[in-house]
Amino acid sequence: MKPYIFITRKIPENLLTELYEVAEVKMWDHEDVPVPNDVLKKELEKADALFSLVSDPIRSEQLTNCPNLKVIANMAVGYDNIDVKLATSKGIVVCHTPDVLTDTTADLTFALLLATARRIPEATRYISNDEWNQWSPYLLAGTDVHHKTIGIVGMGRIGEAVARRAKGFDMNILYHNRSRKEEAEQKIGAKYCTFEELLEQSDYVVCLAPLTPETKELFDEQAFQQMKSSAIFINASRGGLVKEPALLEALQKGIIKGAGLDVFAEEPIRATHPLVQLPNVVAIPHIGSATVETRDAMAKMTVQNITRYLKGEQPIAAVNLKELGV
């Protein structure tokens, strides 16, 4: 019998050819509706492989009864939606899609920074609401980006790509990371500093760190208090890195100047979310890697991660092979 693969969201059929060649494939046939938890649990009872998205929780509840499951392939660079430790204890390989989305996500991160700094969404609404009656010198005046200081928290592949873009704007580049990136320091001119130093010195604080137990709510009341009152905070990583009530208070009280947010603690958010209601916030719906080219590449890598493992080959990108002794 062929292995059985379940896909948790509608993916273009032309990208799944390799899966159909090696397995029986079932796909949740709704592009914009998450697979219900009861359906997912039922599918995992018989699946040999799971093609999942970052919005799918794959934790103890979902993994209670999955006797045949050999591989979970997440169509994302992050995998905080998966209980990797539990999966490893069950002998399940967890895969992801690094590299292919690096530049696309960096583009979006810098676009979010620019849009927030120059108040682009506000300006768009100003015209669409028919409020533009005359020109004035400080009409929707924003903040310069060039020659300012950017502080990047999380200097992984995406962080380095953002730093390269910042260099093109003649920005002073600071970064904080678990380890020094000496090559990036030499090539880009980035300067390593402590988290506290970065917060105190940066005009733009950009969060690109992974969500881990150590980084959960890293940006709390104290962190925002340490920033300049003119600072703009950008989060294109995970919402869980931010204590949202603390960010809301910092924005309402003028502790920091503004925020550009691609991610939130609970997603999706509604228009009534208090952060969305603030004029100094640019909020977008977790679209960091959302270009057709990159999403196609991510889907293809996810397919290859599954097919390679089912064929007895090493996946392109897996996060727990060492722990599994593979």
Active site residues: 238, 267, 286
Q: Which of 279, 323, 18 has the alpha carbon at shortest distance from 124?
A: 279
Q: Which helix (H) or strand (E) holds 71?
A: strand 71-74
Q: Which of 69, 102, 105 has the alpha carbon at shortest distance from 87?
A: 69
304 contacts 316 by C-beta, under 8 angstroms: yes
- Contacts of 28-33 with C-beta under 8 Å, sequence gap 24+, read none
List strand residue ranges (DSSP E) for 131-218, in order.
149-153, 172-176, 191-192, 204-207
Q: Which helix (H) or strand (E) holds 113?
A: helix 102-117
Separation CA 54–CA 85 (nearest Å):
17
187 contacts 210 by C-beta, under 8 angstroms: no
Separation CA 19–CA 2 (nearest Å):
11
Separation CA 93–CA 91 (nearest Å):
7
